[in-house]
Structure formats: C-alpha cells, structure tokens
Amino acid sequence: MNYFDIFHLPIAFELDAAELASRYRQLQQQYHPDKFAAASEADRSRALQWAAEINAAFHTLKEPVARGEYLLSLQGLEIRGEQQTLQDLDFLEQQWAWREALEELPQADDPMQAAADLAAELSQAQGQMLASLSQTLASGRWPEAADWVRKLKFMAKLQLELERLEDSLLDD
C-alpha cells in the first residue's frame, strides 16, 4: 500500500492539505498504540507499526518536495540521497549568485534587510519551481520532474543556511 492509499487520496502532486491533515488525525485516533494497551502483543505490535507508517506517510505527503520525491520513487526513480549534478547551466549560475549573496550578507549596510530581500527572492524562485514540478509530474515527464526536485532540494538547503545566518546576525 502506498502513502496515498493510506489516506485514500489520488496519486498526484497536488493535494488538499486540509483533507490530508483531517485524514491523518482520524487515522491517528484509530490506530494510536494507547488504544491497543489491553490487546494482544501481536495487535499492539501491528498498531505500533501502523502508527509509524501513518506518521511517515503524513510527513512525506505534507511536504511538497518530499511528496514529489515520493511520486518519483513510485515511478522507479529513486533520487533520495543521490549526489547527481544538475546539467542546467542557468540554474547553476543562479546557484552561484545566491551563494555569493549569502556569503556577502554579513558585510551589507543593512544585513537584516539584505537577508529579508534574499529570502523573498528565494521564496519566489521556489514557488516557480514548485509550479514547474507540478506541471512536469502531471504530464508524466519523470526525468524532468526529478531535476525540479533536485533544484528544490538545493533551495531548501540554501534557505536553511540563510535562516542560520539570520539567527547568527541576531545573536551579534
């Protein structure tokens, strides 16, 4: 049973987050291990396994990049943990520019404003990438979708680095 089946959702990138959360809460209540405290050891073990599977499914499906990566795995494209280099020169140049902006941030006249500006730029780019990922997944262009996921994973790492840098600026 795949993660979408657990929640009785269609296998698709676009999903209703509120419906996913509602079904998650229902399943959590139904299979919570505490409800099986008086059950047999086998039933308690099954409930614990189900609860773990439900949690894994929910956390995967609620995050768009993880959901895209999971959809690709359902098509036989495993990209989790890979270190493949993208061949998109425009994106590689953009990566360089974002990294440079991140490195120069502490020396900016107003580092917090520069951080906010970079965060807005990254957020906008990520939104465009998510839209492109959605379109490529919907049309079944799996290798192209894999590249969008790779790009979005880079974006997530860059945003995390920016958040850490902002935290360090606030600590100074």
The per-residue pLDDT for range 31-60, each reduced to its tens digit, is: 887 887 878 888 888 888 999 999 999 999
The average pLDDT across 19-33 equals 92
The average pLDDT across 1-17 equals 96
User: Which of 42 and 6 is assigned the larger pLDDT?
Assistant: 6
pLDDT value for 119: 96
Q: Which long-range contacts (CB under 8 A, 24 or more apart) does 45-51 make?
A: none
- 0.75 cut: is pTM over it? yes
pLDDT at 24 over 80: yes
Q: Which range is least confidently modeled, 17-31, 45-59, 76-90, 107-121?
A: 76-90
User: Which of 122 and 36 is assigned the larger pLDDT?
Assistant: 122
Nearest to 31 by CA among 66, 57, 65, 64: 57
How large a percentage of the chain has pLDDT more than 90?
77
pLDDT value for 103: 95
User: Which of 171 and 158 is assigned the larger pLDDT?
Assistant: 158
Could you please state the CATH topology (level 3) that the domain comprising 3-62 is classified under: Helix Hairpins (1.10.287)
The average pLDDT across 94-99 equals 96
**Rounded distance, CA 142 to CA 168, Å?**
39
- CATH code of 89-171, in short, is 1.20.1280.20
Give 48's contacts (C-beta < 8 A, 6+ positions apart): 33
3-62 and 89-171 agree in CATH topology: no
**Rounded distance, CA 45 to CA 39, Å?**
10
The residue to which tokens 């996913």 are assigned: 20
pLDDT at 84 over 80: no
pLDDT value for 83: 67
Q: Would you call 8 helix, strand, or coil by DSSP?
A: coil
The residue to which tokens 């609860």 are assigned: 51
Cα 154 → chain centroid: 11
Domain spans of the chain, in order of start: 3-62, 89-171
**Rounded distance, CA 31 to CA 2, Å?**
17
pLDDT value for 172: 67
